[in-house]
Amino acid sequence: MSVALARAPSLEDAMMVDSWRPSSPERQRRVAEWYPPTSPSMATSTTMETPATPERESKRRCIANNYSPSAGARAAMWQPQPPIPAPPVLAPASSLPDELLIYILTSTKWSPCDLASAARVCRRWLPAATQVLYSSLFLCTEGTDRASRTSHLAQTMWNAPYLRALVRRLDLIIGTESCVDVESLLGWTALIPPEPGLRALSLWTNDDTGGYASVLLRAPALRAVRDLGLRGPGTISLLSVPRRIERLSLDLHHVGDVTLPSLPHLRSLSLAALRVTVPHQVKYEQLQTLELSHMGPTHACEIVERLSRWPNLHTLSLSLDWIGVLMPHFGGHIMLSLTSSSLTILRVDLHTATRLSSLDGTKIEELHVRACRHQGDDVRALSPVFRGGKLKVVRLVGVKPEEDLRMYIRSLGVERVEFDPY
């Protein structure tokens, strides 16, 4: 009698491939379940032997071929497998080179306390953190706490020659009301190695006698200064010391006329609250940015008239006395100078911008206007300025972003309008 299969071989069938042995009890039980007995004797017999028919032999071979691995497959299963690669082990922070540590410590604004903590992490971090910590020093004598810390720092620089060699920038704020001795505070600067020397110096003092400046004049390291900032009437004597000034900022109240020396490497110049005389033979061919603030319009016009003599100048910032801006013919002088210059970026306050009739004939592509939050409506009065020339970008500083104002300015032909509420 032939027996028809009612279902296809399943996973359970494959698991029973190894049970097809002549004396396997499990084989007998499975066969009894799959093939019901045809007579009562077969159902009650405990030593049942199923007759080997062609159909049953064909079923057994089919299951064995489909689910039993071949000899080659079984041999491959027992072959040794390559080990799973372990995850990469990150190098500890203590093994970083000094160049990378210095880059990390200078790429973000770390406070002196944070840098001091980094120097105490491990011996490997100490040289890099110390170099960054002492590369820029800030000395201030205003206030009891600051004056005390400044005195301790000055004493450290007196006693540590290896730390003096690390100084590259020095920022000083010194008041006449302080009781700190000038020599003990700044005398150590004369011991800074002249090579490579200082790269930046900023001095603010209300000392009219020039005592602090006279102490700094003894420092050979000042000859290498490239970024110089002077504020106060007693600091002008330091202007003649550096040999390669690239950035100069002067804020000298009640000084009178100041004649700028020949600075062939000057790239950025900022002048505030003083009358400056620029010799006719001085051209400043490397000058790129010029900032004039808190100056009268007459003094500002005298400098602006020389814009055509500085061929590489591309940025001009004007923040003048708003009362003087209202003087007649001020706007005409500014426009005439802008037309003959190579400026591409102009930064002005709102009062100065209102005196500009148009930017036609100029090369200005970016206009930055400083205004107050409540002066947003006054910006619309600058439509003749926005409409003319090659203007592409308008940046409103101190104005809260308004979509209506943005769309209005863009309708005048400006490609991009930016707001800086701060």
Can you give the pLDDT of all 422 residues of the chain as single tens digits?
444 444 544 545 544 444 444 445 666 666 566 655 554 444 444 444 556 677 777 666 666 555 555 555 555 556 666 777 776 666 667 777 888 888 888 887 888 888 888 888 888 888 888 988 999 999 888 877 888 888 888 899 999 899 999 999 999 888 766 667 788 888 899 999 988 889 999 988 877 666 788 888 888 999 999 999 988 877 888 888 888 899 999 887 666 677 888 888 999 999 887 677 777 777 788 889 999 887 777 777 778 877 878 888 899 888 865 545 555 556 666 777 777 778 889 898 887 787 777 788 788 889 898 887 656 567 777 888 888 778 889 898 888 888 888 888 888 888 888 888 77
The pLDDT of residue 228 = 93
Spatial distance between the Cα atoms of 238 and 52, rounded to a whole number of angstroms: 115
Give the domains, in start order, of the chain with CATH numbers: 11-70 (no CATH), 246-422 (3.80.10)
**Residue ranges of the alpha helices (H) in 285-402?**
297-304, 322-325, 330-339, 350-354, 376-379, 383-387
Residue 21 confidence (pLDDT): 47
Q: To which H or E segment does residue 13 belong?
A: helix 11-15
The amino acid occupying position 275 is R
Query: Is residue 251 within 8 Å of 258, Cβ to Cβ?
Result: no
Quote the pTM value.
0.70
H or E segment at 157? helix 144-159
Task: State the burial class of residue 223 (Cβ atoms within 10 Å of its Cβ: 0-12, 13-18, 19+).
Answer: middle
Residue 157 has which token pair? 């620089």
Neighbouring C-beta atoms of residue 402, cutoff 10 Å: 15
Nearest to 249 by CA among 152, 332, 317: 317
Nearest to 202 by CA among 145, 157, 242, 162: 242
Residue partners of 412: CB distance under 8 A and separation at least 6: 383, 386, 387
Residue matched to tokens 């007196």: 158
- pLDDT (0 to 100) of residue 34: 60
> 15 φ, ψ to 5°?
-70, -20
Determine the pLDDT at residue 27.
62
What is the amino acid identity at position 232?
G
Q: Give strand ranges (E) for 18-161.
A: 136-140
Spatial contact of 252 and 232, defined as CB atoms under 8 Å apart? yes
What pLDDT is recorded for position 275? 75
- Identify the CA nearest to 154 among candidates 168, 170, 142: 170
* Residues whose CB is less than 8 angstroms from the CB of residue 227 and which lie 6 or more positions away in sequence, other chains included: 169, 199, 200, 201, 202, 245, 246, 247
Q: In whole angstroms, what separates CA 265 from the centre of its chain?
A: 27
pLDDT for residue 289: 92
- Cβ-proximal residues to 205 (8 Å cutoff; 6+ apart), any chain: 172, 173, 174, 175, 176, 212, 213, 231, 232, 234, 235
